[in-house]
């Protein structure tokens, strides 16, 4: 079965076409600046040359039409006809309490995604545009895969905030987490890599990139995660503050005469690595700056690392131990220095890093701890699109049988 995976943002649409017979990617690409004066389409057939086009794409339906024409293009295409695509899988950020797993799109599912617009105002409307755009261009089953679904297994004591309970019952204010697709994929892959049943493992999964979160995975289930009602809570990130005293918000709003939108924007877009370094939200530039002796870059790096280590410690505490620590995403997969700094301060847990293994660059799952380490430390490249393609394939195959 060929599955088209779509990740729709408010002005962008990423896609990958999978052949599920061998889980290979036939082509992938990105439509950017949808609705703006000149949209940019980048399409890359596997093994072929990347093509970039500038054209006017005013909404997501036209973007998908463009994608389908590139996928079937005589020169740059990878399939003979759109009919070869048998299913579409969508990434959806927020599944609220409705979705603990992926779902086949129908009227009820669409209604629920709409009901969650309030909780994810930037993301769920965009996902809905992606679903509608695919529907209006193709007549195949569609599946939605939620970033929050894996975390629905969290117990009440982990997902509730210590605020008046009416806010939960009335407005569903609680911890939902994010990056669930990645944490689930990485923890399963870690168990397979170690050849151990996931049911026996206590895993701390660190998804650290521009967005960053840590999850405590016990027996294959998420029991706590650092992101909260929104992806702002938890770790320090590229441009997001992560944890802070909530009293800072009204205080700063008052002192600086900020509106709700302005303070939201400050915490989401102008904080994190960017704010502390004053240089960049990109960990590569921070690391370069630090190595050149820039004090602000060093401070930004130290804070990012320190906060990650604090979460690892607290999740070891909530699980009463840890068997495996995994690193994934842009920083986790690539930053030798971040992994080293985190691990050299976790010796009390029995973590022993193998410096040579840590230096190796690879796109494969790998161990970076020594044979004597009491905790297995692994780097597991994440692949959220593959999870979406697999879930879509499984659900749609189920329909056919
Ligand atoms: P997101 O998906 O949240 O946008 P990614 O997982 O793609 O983020 O991670 C992006 C981050 O990974 C950036 O901060 C980037 O600097 C960092 N990164 C990528 N390569 C390296 C590297 N070699 N060393 C350190 N950081 C890296």
Contact by Cβ (8 Å): 128, 43: no
**CATH of span 2-146:** 3.30.420.40
> Which helix (H) or strand (E) covers residue 8, if one does?
strand 2-8
Q: Please identify, in words, the CATH class of the domain defined by 193-384.
A: alpha beta
- C-alpha to C-alpha distance for 210 and 272, rounded to whole angstroms: 10
User: Which pairing describes strands 13-19 and 2-8: parallel, antiparallel, or unpaired?
Assistant: antiparallel
Atom of ligand 1 nearest to the CA of 338: 25
Q: CA separation (Å) from 20 to 4, 134, 325?
A: 10, 19, 30
How many angstroms separate the alpha carbon of residue 331 from the centre of ligand 1? 5
Cα of 361 from ligand 1 centre, angstroms: 14
Dist. CA 59–CA 74, nearest whole Å: 25
From first to last of the 401 residues of the chain, give the pLDDT tens digit.
999 999 998 899 999 999 999 999 999 999 999 998 889 999 999 999 999 999 899 999 999 999 999 999 999 999 999 999 999 999 999 999 999 999 999 999 999 999 999 888 878 999 999 999 999 999 999 999 999 999 999 999 999 999 999 999 999 999 999 999 999 999 999 999 999 999 999 999 999 999 999 999 999 999 999 999 999 999 999 999 999 999 999 999 999 999 999 999 999 999 999 999 999 999 999 999 999 999 999 999 999 999 999 999 999 999 999 999 999 999 999 999 999 999 999 999 999 999 999 999 999 999 999 999 999 999 999 999 999 999 999 999 998 87
Residue from 79, 81, 324, 12 nearest 183 by CA:
324
Q: Pinpoint the alpha helices (H) of 227-326.
A: 248-256, 260-269, 272-277, 283-291, 295-318
Tokens 């971040």 locate to: 338
Protein residue whose Cα sits closest to atom 21 of ligand 1 = 334
Is 268 within 8 Å of 123 (Cβ atoms)? no
Q: Please give the Cα distance from 279 to 286 (Å, whole number).
A: 8
Residues with C-beta less than 6 Å from any ligand 1 atom: 209-211, 238, 282-284, 287, 329-331, 334-335
Per-residue exposure over 49-82, b if at least 16 CB sit within 10 Å of its own CB, e if not: eeeeeeeebeebbbbbbbbbebbbeeebbbbeeb
Task: For residue 85, give the H/E element and its range.
Answer: strand 85-92
Task: Supply the angle between the helices 283-291 and 295-318 in degrees, to the nearest 10.
Answer: 120
Ligand 1 centroid to 283 CA: how many Å? 6
Judged by DSSP in three states, 9 sits in coil
Active site residue ranges: 147
Q: Record the pTM.
A: 0.94
Coil vs helix vs strand at 143: strand
SS3 260: helix
* Structure tokens, 218: 């016990």
Specify the 3-state DSSP secondary structure of 6. strand
Indicate the domain borders of the chain: 2-146, 193-384
d(CA 288, CA 300): 12
| Topology agreement, domain 2-146 and domain 193-384 | yes
84 vs 374: CA distance, rounded Å: 49
């Amino acid at each position: 079965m060929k599955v088209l995976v779509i990740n729709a943002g408010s002005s962008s649409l990423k896609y990958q076409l999978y052949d599920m017979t061998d889980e290979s990617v036939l082509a992938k690409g990105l439509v950017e600046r949808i609705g703006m004066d000149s949209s940019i389409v980048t399409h890359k057939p596997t093994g072929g040359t990347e093509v970039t086009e500038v054209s006017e794409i005013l909404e997501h339906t036209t973007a998908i039409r463009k994608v389908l024409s590139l996928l079937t293009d005589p020169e740059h295409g990878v399939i003979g006809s759109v009919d070869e695509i048998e299913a579409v899988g969508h990434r959806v950020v927020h599944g609220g309490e409705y979705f603990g797993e992926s779902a086949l799109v129908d009227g009820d599912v669409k209604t629920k995604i709409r009901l969650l617009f309030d909780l994810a105002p930037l993301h769920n409307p965009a996902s809905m545009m992606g679903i509608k755009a695919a529907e209006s261009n193709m007549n195949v089953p569609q599946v939605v895969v939620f970033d929050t679904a894996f975390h629905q297994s969290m117990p009440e004591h982990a997902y509730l905030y210590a605020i008046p309970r009416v806010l939960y019952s009335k407005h569903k204010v609680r911890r939902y987490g994010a990056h669930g697709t990645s944490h689930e994929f990485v923890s399963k892959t870690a168990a397979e890599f170690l050849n151990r049943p996931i049911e026996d493992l206590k895993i701390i999964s660190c998804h650290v990139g521009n967005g960053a979160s840590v999850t405590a995975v016990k027996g294959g289930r998420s029991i706590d995660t650092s992101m909260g009602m929104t992806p702002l809570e938890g770790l320090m990130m590229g441009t997001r503050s992560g944890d802070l005293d909530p009293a800072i918000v009204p205080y700063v709003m008052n002192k600086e005469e900020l509106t709700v939108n302005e303070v939201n924007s400050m915490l989401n877009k102008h904080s994190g690595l960017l704010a502390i370094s004053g240089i960049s939200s990109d960990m590569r530039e921070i690391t370069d700056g630090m190595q050149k002796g820039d004090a602000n870059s060093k401070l930004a790096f130290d804070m990012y690392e320190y906060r990650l280590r604090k979460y690892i410690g607290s999740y070891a505490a909530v699980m009463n131990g840890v068997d495996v620590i995994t690193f994934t995403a842009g920083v986790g997969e690539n930053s030798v220095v971040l992994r080293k700094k985190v691990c050299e301060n976790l010796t009390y847990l029995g973590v022993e890093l193998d410096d040579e293994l840590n230096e190796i660059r690879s796109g494969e799952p790998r161990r970076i701890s020594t044979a004597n380490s009491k905790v297995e430390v692994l780097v597991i490249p994440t692949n959220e699109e593959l999870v979406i393609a697999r879930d879509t394939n499984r659900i749609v195959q189920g329909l056919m049988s």
